[in-house]
Amino acid sequence: MIFLSALMLAMAACKTGSLADSRKPMTNVASLGVPLPVVTPYDSYSNARLEYLEGYREGYRNGSLRLPPSWARVGMPIDPAEPRERGWQDGGLAARISIAADAAKLQNENKNDR
């Protein structure tokens, strides 16, 4: 009886359509909306530049919320000169500046509507 129930469940699962379409290009949705800097402190070093930009993306998304970086561990010192950490700091700062600029813009629009 249990085997028959499992078999029926497996057959039903095989009939359901897949949500993924392998023919469509995949896009990293998490990086959309993150304005990356054109120039970085590590432009001469390709690996360091990639680490910096990775940290910048994460910092822009999470740094404005003052969340710690995903690679940070309790009790582990963080070197602020490391490319990924510096990118995280710069990305978080850029996000906070963007939020402040948007807030000031809204405030000015509300002031003008009165």
Q: Quick one: pLDDT at residue 73? A: 77
Does residue 102 lie in a domain region? Answer: yes
Does residue 4 lie in a domain region? Answer: no
d(CA 12, CA 92): 47
Q: Residues of 84-112 as b/e, b for ≥16 C-beta within 10 angstroms? A: bbbbbbbbbebbeeeeeeeeeeeeeeeee
pLDDT band at 27 (very low <50, low <70, confident <90, very high): very low
Does residue 7 lie in a domain region? Answer: no
Does residue 14 lie in a domain region? Answer: no
Residue 25 has pLDDT above 50, yes or no: no
d(CA 58, CA 92): 8
Does residue 16 lie in a domain region? Answer: no
Range of the structural domain that residue 77 is part of: 32-113
Does residue 86 lie in a domain region? Answer: yes
pLDDT band at 30 (very low <50, low <70, confident <90, very high): very low
Does residue 56 lie in a domain region? Answer: yes
**Sign, Cα dihedral of 96, 97, 101, 102:** negative
Count of the separate structural domains present in the chain = 1
Q: Quick one: pLDDT at residue 79? A: 80
- Which amino acid is it at 107? Q
Q: Quick one: pLDDT at residue 94? A: 92
Does residue 101 lie in a domain region? Answer: yes
